[in-house]
Amino acid sequence: MKVFVTRILPAAAIALLEAAGLEVTQWTEKRKLTQEEMIAHCKDADALLSAGQLINKEFLLASKHLKVIALHSVGYDNVDIDTATALKIPVGNTPGVLSDSTADTAFLLMLATSRNAFYMHQRILNGEWGFFEPTANLGIELHGSTLGIYGLGKIGLEMAKRCVGAYHMKIIYHNRSRNEDAEKELNATYVSFEELLQQSDVLSVHTALTPETEGKFNMDAFKQMKETAIFVNTARGSIHNEADLTEALEQKLIWGAGLDVTNPEPMSPQNPLLKMANVCVLPHIGSATVGTRNAMARIAADNIIAGLKGEKLPHVVNPEIYS
């Protein structure tokens, strides 16, 4: 059986697939495949292992012969799950293994933004490390402040643990449902979305991208936040309205922002956010550690192998196909 892989993946994952007797073809060009190229490469494939590709209705209808699709990600907002389910194609993802590395990235962005770190580094490169002024280059104090989490799941919980341990921060959160484990472990308090906006000193986004969460953080939301608040997003760029975020920062409605995700991606080098002292932007590297990416690739390979054996995927997004 044949597997088409849309990116170069860690060798260990490819070895797993080949040890299972599968013929693996990897896309080696450093660009996304077009829909036409995806369809053409999957024409003779039995399975697709996708990293960073849009899997829409057009592709699925042209590739309905696929026995399994495995994603090299925990998010699956780039997949038409309804169509895949209707076609009885199981879709697998990689939950859990990237919680620590993504939480580390959120923590990094929070801390870097609180001290204007990226901008200060750029000033050194520009030869602007000048006269010492006791009232210049001041950041925001994090100790004892309030961390608000929008989407307190596995990644949000790890972020909260780091903030409690390092800065004794108070945790508030807003979810579709209560996280009783977090409430017991971290004394986290469930609040309404409006209360989350109004009370957070740092507001960190860790939710999935859905029709409900798309554009959730817009001008109306930013207007309700503290002028001293830091907004952090390591989930999906479409969850915040980037034009509104830019305007909110320019108008000093909030103090700063740390972003690992933008809309669109890649971000244009001319984006005004990149010129702001109080903004730190990373190129969507939340899960980018050797250990995490290896683990994600191995889970994706396990999903492929199970699917081609006709077994239930270890991590399936649409389990209703088995009922």
H helix intervals, the chain: 11-19, 35-42, 57-62, 81-86, 99-114, 117-125, 154-167, 180-186, 193-199, 219-224, 242-250, 290-308
Contact indicator for 255, 227 with CB cutoff of 8 Å: yes
293 in active site:
no
Looking at residue 41, the DSSP 8-state letter turns out to be H
Q: Which of 7, 41, 174, 284 is catalytic?
A: 284
C-alpha 311/C-alpha 117 separation (Å) is 49
Q: Which of 41, 236, 240, 293 is catalytic?
A: 236
- The dihedral region occupied by 128, where left means phi > 0, alpha psi between -120 and 50, and beta the remainder, is alpha
Contact indicator for 101, 293 with CB cutoff of 8 Å: no
Written as one letter, the residue type at 309 is K
311 in active site:
no
Query: Beta partners for 25?
Result: 4
Cβ partners under 8 Å of residue 301, min gap 6: 13, 14, 16, 17, 49, 70
- What are the tokens at 236? 């999906």
C-alpha 222/C-alpha 240 separation (Å) is 10
C-alpha 242/C-alpha 247 separation (Å) is 9
Burial of 13 (0-12, 13-18, 19+ CB in 10 A): buried
Q: Which of 180, 250, 265, 311 is catalytic?
A: 265
3-state class (DSSP) for residue 87: coil
206 in active site:
no
Which of the residues are catalytic?
A: 236, 265, 284
